[in-house]
Structure 1
Amino acid sequence: MNATHDTPLPRSIPEYLERLRESLAGADPALVQDALYDAEEYLRAEMAENPGKSEAEVIASVAGSYGAPDEVADIYRDTEVKVQTALRPPAPKPRKSPWGQFFGVIAEPRTYASLFYMLLSLATGIFYFTWVVTGASLSAGLAVLIIGIPFVILFLGSVRILSLVEGRLVEVMLGERMPRRPLYASRGKPWLERIKEMFTDPRTWGTLLYMLLMMPLGIVYFTIAVTGLTLSLSLIAAPVALMLSGTVLVDGVDLASSSQPWTWPLAIGAGVALLFLTLHIARWVGTLHGMLAKHLLVKSAQYS
């Protein structure tokens, strides 16, 4: 692509990144994070291959191949539309009637992905919570020692890596666009300033809060999913088993002898209704949790 010359090219990598951020104003924060990371990686690699050139010279030399900030922003916007269109599952047929909307949830692939996320969130929530509490406790305990600061930096770095892993789970299962690259590192700045930015970056503390919240949320999600599925399937299966065999033993008690046949269709109907209600709850949880993850793990990075 050819660089435009309507505006002067940036003369430094930080200036290039800031111009790129401005050109992507209004875009998805996850897309902005990916674009900034890719741009810095590319420009730093070009600097390493041309040690005798200044940043302004390198930017000018790659403007024709990589592009000026506004051109790169346009390409990322266009590519994002194409990728999201390709990855988006087929849209379900619109259902106008209330019954169609209620029962149509069973035909949506995202329903089952959200349900699986609810079941998985108990394990991930416990892991995230344990990691953060243990890391924070060790960081506080080692603060008086010389290794305290390096340990805190490593701990916060590990938390950022975990946020990327969680972001992939959220994007794949819940459909919320999340970053595919780490937060760009501003490697042109001194080490002390970069360490300071890590502590003052709102996303650092948003990520820690998210991982602490994941354990109680995971318990709630897992409980809702398991209770809803177990109860609804039990209500459906028990009358069917009674009608087929005439005997269903639970703890030595024959349910067939203690229930009336006219209640069996009611139990099946209640089970079906509860099953579809559980699927709707899974969809709602998926949408709301995706918004929470976006706000705590990504959006605050826009203001760093």
Structure 2
Amino acid sequence: MNTITHPGSLLPTTIPEYLDQLREALAGADKAMIQDAVYDAEEYLRSELAENPGKSEAEVIASVAGSYGAPEEVADIYRETEVTVAKALRPPVPPKRKSLLGRFFGVAADARTYGALFYMLLSLATGTFYFTWVVTGASLSFGLMILIIGIPLLLLFLMSVRLLSLVEGRVVEVLLGERMPRRPLYTQRDKPWTTRLKELFTDGRTWTAMLYLLLMHPLGVLYFSVTITLLAVSLGFIAAPVAYFLPFDYVMSFGDWNMITDAPWMLPLVSVFGIVLLFVTLHLARMVGRFHGWLAKHLLVRTPVV
């Protein structure tokens, strides 16, 4: 590889080489952060190249190395910034509890629990929208491929899938705490649309993102149904003792047996069971949040190629 000597390091002579060195320098870091760093570097270098049409890529890289930095320097800056931002955005960490009861009830003090719970409720709406968008867009795009309008429509549809995956990633990061890309995959705007369409087809993340958007519908229905059912049952059980004092008939029956009239002394026990079930629901929400964050990370984030 041809390089240009720069104080303390060897600079690449092309933008792809610069990006490859940046990926190597960031090896082992969060892949969502790597995607953001590569996007920023490519956007900056190509904008500098566009503003200096008389210079080669090697000359542009050499000229901006002092202000933007060599790949290793940029990697170090991103690692330090990532730690700083993560600390600033991290919610208060609940104190660690050693006892089993402390760990069981301590889930209520974890802010991520409520983010996951809200995500499970929200996923029905987002999952239905994503599924409808992908099915409708794919049907129209591929169905109209025999006409000239089908090609640009397909291009717009695939670009919209990337946009939706970016939006979903931001929702996942905010509510579930999983680091997701904050910038899209870079696309050179001066490339022919045929080249851009080819890149969309050959990029595996286009199809895994589409798979994720389709999966969100059944997952959203499952998440919403489980959350609503468990919350309704647990809160209903917790409020069971109140039923004894209501002026109208309240029935909690199993066949012909009505607990309200036949065994009112069991209502406090039912209330205690409802409290336990509520905390079980919170633990389940936290587990689902971790699982869904893992799923989103694997399907929506491009794996760095070093």
The normalised TM-score by structure 1 is 0.92
Question: Would you say 1:290 and 2:280 are equivalent positions?
Answer: no
Shift of the alpha carbon at 1:159? 0.6
- Counterpart for residue 58 of structure 1: 60
Match of 1:234 in 2: 236
Following the alignment from structure 2 to structure 1, what is the Cα–Cα distance between the partners of residues 82 and 145? 43
Report the secondary structure of 1:220's partner residue. helix
User: How many residue pairs end up in the alignment?
Assistant: 298
Q: 1:303 to 1:148 in 2, by over 3 A?
A: farther
Q: Does 1:43 align with 2:45?
A: yes
In the alignment, the residues of structure 1 paired with residue 210 and residue 202 of structure 2 have an alpha-carbon distance, to the nearest angstrom, of: 13
Q: Distance in 1 between matches of 2:249 and 2:19?
A: 68
Would the alpha carbon gap of residues 55 and 218 (structure 1) be closer, same or farther in structure 2, given more than 3 Å must change? same
| CA distance 1:162–1:282, change in 2 (3 Å) | same
Matched, 1:171 2:173: yes
Checking the alignment, whether the CA contact within 8 Å between 2:6 and 2:62 is kept in structure 1 is no
* Residue 182 (structure 1) aligns with: 184
Match status 1:75 vs 2:77: yes
From 221, 224, 240, the equivalent of 1:222 is 224
One-letter code of the match for 2:134? V
Counterpart position of 1:261: 264
The structure-2 alpha-carbon separation of the partners of 1:44 and 1:250, relative to structure 1 and needing over 3 Å to count, comes to same
Contact 1:21–1:36 under 8 Å retained in 2? yes
1:274 counterpart residue number: 277
> 5+ unaligned residues in a row in structure 1: which ranges?
none
1:94-243 to structure 2, matched below 5 A, reads 94-185=96-187, 191-242=193-244
1:13 aligns with 2:20: no
- Offset at residue 192 of structure 1 (A): 3.7
Please report how far the alpha carbon of residue 249 of structure 1 lies from its aligned counterpart in structure 2 after TM superposition. 3.5
User: How high is the sequence identity, in percent, across the aligned residues?
Assistant: 66
Instruction: Classify the secondary structure of the residue corresponding to 1:8.
Output: strand
Unaligned 5+ residue runs, structure 2?
253-257
In structure 2, what is the Cα distance between the partners aligned to 1:245 and 1:209? 50
Q: Could you tell me which amino acid in structure 2 is paired with residue 129 of structure 1?
A: F
Whole-Å separation in 2 of the counterparts to 1:137 and 1:7: 52
Q: For the residues of structure 2 that align with 1:179 and 1:124, how far apart are their CA atoms?
A: 19
SS at match of 1:9: strand
Distance between the aligned counterparts of 1:303 and 1:118, measured in 2? 33
CA contact (8 A) 1:37 1:181 kept: yes
